[in-house]
Amino acid sequence: MMAGRPDGALPESFQMREQPKKTPEREAYYRRIGEHNLAPLWEVLKTIQAEEPHPPETAVLWRYDDIHQMLMDAAHLISTQEANRRVLILENPALRGQTRATHSLYAGLQLVMPGETAPSHRHSQAAIRFIVEGEGAYTSVNGERTNMREGDFVVTPAWSWHDHGNPSQKPMVWMDGLDFPIVGLLNCGFFEDYREDAFPLTRPENDSQARYSAGMLPVGYREQPLNTPLVNYPYARAREALKQLEAAGPIDPCHGVKMRYVNPATGGYALATIGTFMQVLPAGFSGRPYRSTDAAVYSVVEGSGRTLVADRSLEWSKRDVFVVPSWSWHYHEAFEESVIFSFSDRPVHETLGLFREQRGEGA
């Protein structure tokens, strides 16, 4: 039996709280004050101060096998130069036309074909790249280039010059995640194209790996608390760490073995607005119920299984993407050993003191 209200129903006290009755006198009063740009709080108080969150997004699954050909078709319809970024938006069906996977985050699948480049630009929004298919393409961030392989997590901090290219012989697909809705809410978005297709390389390839990924920092390094100095977090290293933790135990009853990507200089999140995670679900794992205030986007790296969200069952396999809405009871089941990457807006919740999580009884 789960704690709280796993059925998603409104608490009884909330249901019993009566809305003020409509009367002709009150309606006339509301029209009169409306002419002075005023409105009665008591008419909307239940909406803006609910007893618990009610997510605007819905649980949804995008099967990669269904999307792959649509991505390839896009390559024949539009070039990277014309499109700037050839991306199919992962649009939550409950948020049509809003360019959102969740209420606070954008997600899309980007395709770069062999020999193509995506021109350099920068923007106020922070971005992540999670490599879904292929290897050999690169991303350049502020003058440092990194080659990308399947499962790698690549960071593009806000207002960083970045461009992409694919000198390999096969298509490259990665998932983009950006904080468009958060930046839009604050109305502080800026964008700038670079004067050339590629930003000049000023550092050796994977320079940040040598400087910041060995548990050491260069003498004289000045801390950048908001963003990681690393450009690429290779999957091979993350997978090995998860493997060792799985062997050592214990296994979390809700999450399996789950780790958070960090800024190696501070121990904080890699980006100020987007939290990123990788987890292993052992074969046969059947997780206990869990919910938290952050809505999350998941990308399956290995394996197959399903995630049950309220009354929906999302059955996933390698390269599929799915969303778990905020404050929604869910649990994972693994048909075979599975590895899943995810990202959410948890850093914002924690910074503002708003984050909450809840485990089902016995978890």
Question: What stretches of 116-271 adopt beta strand conformation (E)?
Answer: 117-123, 127-133, 135-141, 144-149, 153-156, 162-165, 172-178, 191-193, 232-233, 257-260
Q: pLDDT tens digits, residue range 168-223?
A: 999 999 999 999 999 999 999 999 999 999 999 999 999 999 999 988 899 988 87
Cα angle 158, 339, 282 (rounded to 5 degrees) comes to 145
Q: Which CATH architecture does the domain made up of 234-359 adopt? A: Sandwich (2.60)
Q: For the sheet containing 304-309, what is the strand order?
A: 312-317, 304-309, 330-334, 290-292, 357-359
User: Which tokens go with 155?
Assistant: 């960071």
Q: pLDDT tens digits, residue range 127-146?
A: 999 999 999 999 999 999 99
> What CA–CA distances, in Å, run from 222 to 158, 231, 265, 266, 270?
18, 17, 9, 11, 16
CB contact set of 66 (below 8 Å; sequence gap of 6+): none
Q: pLDDT tens digits, residue range 89-102?
A: 999 999 999 999 99
CB contact set of 15 (below 8 Å; sequence gap of 6+): none
User: Which tokens go with 323?
Assistant: 């969303």
Average pLDDT, the chain: 93
Q: pLDDT tens digits, residue range 250-274?
A: 999 999 999 999 999 999 999 999 9
Q: For the sheet containing 106-112, what is the strand order?
A: 87-89, 106-112, 172-178, 127-133, 153-156, 232-233
Q: Which CATH architecture does the domain made up of 63-212 adopt? A: Sandwich (2.60)
pLDDT bucket at 363, cuts 50 / 70 / 90: low
Assess whether the region 63-212 and the region 234-359 belong to the same CATH fold: yes
pLDDT attached to residue 362: 64
How do the domains of the chain map onto residue ranges? 63-212, 234-359
User: Which tokens go with 362?
Assistant: 């016995």
Stretch 341-362: mean pLDDT, rounded? 95
pLDDT attached to residue 17: 60
Say if residue 20's pLDDT is above 90. Answer: no
Residues belonging to the chain: 363
* Single pTM value for the model: 0.92
CA pair distance 230, 213, nearest whole angstrom: 7
